[in-house]
Amino acid sequence: MDYSENYNKQLQRLYRILQDGHKGYTEAAEHVKSPDLKILFEKIASERAVLVNQMGAKMAEFGYTPDDHEDALGALHRGWMNLKASLTSNTDQNILESCRNADQAALDAFDDVLQGEILYDTALKSFLMEPRLKINETFLELDKRYFDMFKKDPSL
């Protein structure tokens, strides 16, 4: 695999992960009962849409066309999230946990890409750090809210 092909493959992977995050947070906002979580998930979905557009624009700079086909990992996670929600009474806690886990997987994917060949392209690395940091901020917010739920109701 040549250098350019690897960049395309890695950027496509991150593009699909961002796209899946947008779809996942949109679905989460539709299913939560808490007005606060609904507002939060709608905000995150909107932020992910911006990240998808930015990633698509960056890919175009390299001459790549974003592939809108769902990646198996994203489809698998969304399917798991839907299954878990339906099997566990669709509680806000379960939805929040699924979103938190999805963001952890997204962070792992960004870290994996950033440690590869892209590491040597400082401009691209700098660009990719922006969505990675945004996802990390979201993860930390979800993590805090998730554990705050346990403080309010230790039986969870």
Q: Does domain 3-152 have CATH number 1.10.800.10?
A: no
Query: Model's pTM, two decimal places?
Result: 0.86
Report the first-to-last Cα separation within the chain, whole angstroms. 48
Q: What one-character-per-residue DSSP string does 51-99 give?
A: HHHHHHHHHHHTT-----SPPHHHHHHHHHHHHHHHHTTT-HHHHHHHH
Q: Please say whether the beta carbons of 96 and 41 come within 8 A.
A: no
Q: Distance between CA atoms of 83 and 49, rounded to whole angstroms?
A: 24
Run of H or E residues at 100: helix 92-114
By C-alpha distance, which of 133, 140, 111 is closest to 54?
133
At residue 99, the pLDDT reads 92
Tell me the C-alpha to C-alpha distance, in Å, between residue 31 and each of 9, 47, 149.
Answer: 33, 19, 18
pLDDT at residue 81, as a whole number: 62
Check residue 134 and give its pLDDT. Answer: 98
Residue ranges in the chain modelled with pLDDT below 50:
1, 83, 86-87
Q: What is the pLDDT of residue 73?
A: 61
Question: Where along the chain do its domains lie?
Answer: 3-152
